[in-house]
């Protein structure tokens, strides 16, 4: 197995960081590398806002449900889907952007996700650990106000970066046979495969060094998918000029 495959397979979220700083030069190199990620129609619809001020970080940590590592990580950045830049391009050519299409929202969001994951791989290759913070969407309007985001920009997630202060275990993933389908979609074997994976996850959670618990993956998914999921997002996105049509 080559080094890149090994790096990808060893990923785990890091929530505790050493005091060693991450230089601006390294952070900029990580984002520059991530800029080479594929981008739909070359729209490059991602803006990264590095948040340094302690007060702003504290407010975002509170929005994110008290995730203290937002405050403590050497680097915290918010990855934003940005179509305001495309609007500027239209204005430079005396045109008006035809915004609000759901497809534009998908394109911009996918662009952000792809670029962020490239940044994560670049960071981990340099010995850093990371943790995504999707909970910035708990109150996206408050984050928008804090970061002074204009229309056609929204915060997709935050990202903590730093040197890990201890080792973290890698979670087992779904069996490959449930993820790869040949020719067409079939789920005949999935109930049995998921039951087996539940056993694997219970064993993992019971043995890991912190936050031990006894639950299977299907239980977690049932809990997640049977409740509301940030119902405020649609109204917020429309207020920012997304998902209008």
pTM of the shown model: 0.96
Question: What's the CA gap between 126 and 241, in Å, rounded?
Answer: 37
Strand order in the sheet with 129-133: 46-50, 75-82, 153-162, 129-133
Answer whether residue 37 shows pLDDT above 90: yes
Same domain, 48 and 140: yes
pLDDT of residue 208: 85
pLDDT for 70? 98
Give me the pLDDT at residue 182, please: 95
Q: Is the pLDDT of residue 97 over 90?
A: yes
Residue 219 counted as domain residue: no
Our measurement of the distance from residue 131's CA atom to the centroid of its chain's CA atoms, rounded to an integer in Å, reads 8
Domain containing 181 equals 176-207
Mean pLDDT in residue range 128-137: 98
User: What 3-state DSSP class applies to 213?
Assistant: coil
Decide if 18 is inside a domain. yes
Residues 118 and 195 both lie in one domain: no
pLDDT in tens, 162-205: 999 988 889 999 999 999 999 999 999 999 999 999 999 999 99
pLDDT tens profile 106-126: 999 999 999 999 999 999 999
Same-domain status, 191 and 143: no
| Same domain, residue pair 127 and 62 | yes
Residues 104 and 163 occupy one common structural domain: yes
**What is the number of structural domains in the chain?**
2
Same domain for 192 and 234? no
Same domain, residue pair 123 and 28 = yes
Residue 151 in any domain: the answer is yes
User: Which backbone phi and psi does 78 adopt, to 5 degrees?
Assistant: -110, 125
CATH number at residue 67: 3.40.109.10
Same domain, 51 and 96: yes
| 113 belongs to a structural domain | yes
Residue 83 and residue 203 in one domain: no
Output the average pLDDT for the chain. Answer: 96
């Amino acid at each position: 197995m080559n080094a890149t495959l090994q790096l990808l397979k060893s990923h785990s979220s890091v929530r505790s960081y050493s005091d060693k700083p991450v230089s601006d030069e390294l952070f900029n190199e990580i984002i520059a590398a991530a800029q080479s990620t594929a981008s739909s129609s070359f729209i490059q619809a991602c803006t990264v806002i590095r948040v340094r001020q302690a007060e702003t970080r504290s407010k975002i940590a509170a929005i994110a449900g008290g995730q203290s590592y937002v405050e403590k990580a050497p680097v915290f950045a918010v990855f934003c889907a940005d179509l305001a830049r495309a609007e500027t391009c239209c204005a430079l050519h005396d045109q008006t952007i035809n915004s609000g299409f759901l497809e534009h929202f998908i394109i911009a969001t996918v662009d952000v996700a792809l670029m962020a994951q490239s940044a994560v791989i670049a960071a981990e290759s340099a010995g850093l650990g990371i943790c995504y913070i999707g909970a910035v969407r708990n109150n996206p309007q408050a984050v928008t106000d804090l970061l002074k985001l204009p229309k056609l920009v929204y915060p997709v997630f935050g990202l903590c970066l730093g040197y890990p202060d201890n080792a973290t275990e890698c979670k087992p993933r779904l069996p490959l046979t449930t993820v790869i389908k040949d020719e067409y979609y079939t789920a005949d074997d999935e109930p049995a495969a998921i039951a087996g994976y539940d056993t694997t996850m219970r064993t993992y959670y019971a043995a890991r060094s912190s936050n031990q618990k006894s639950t299977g993956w299907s239980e977690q998914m049932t809990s997640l998918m049977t409740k509301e999921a940030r119902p405020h997002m649609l109204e917020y996105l429309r207020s920012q000029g997304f998902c209008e049509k």
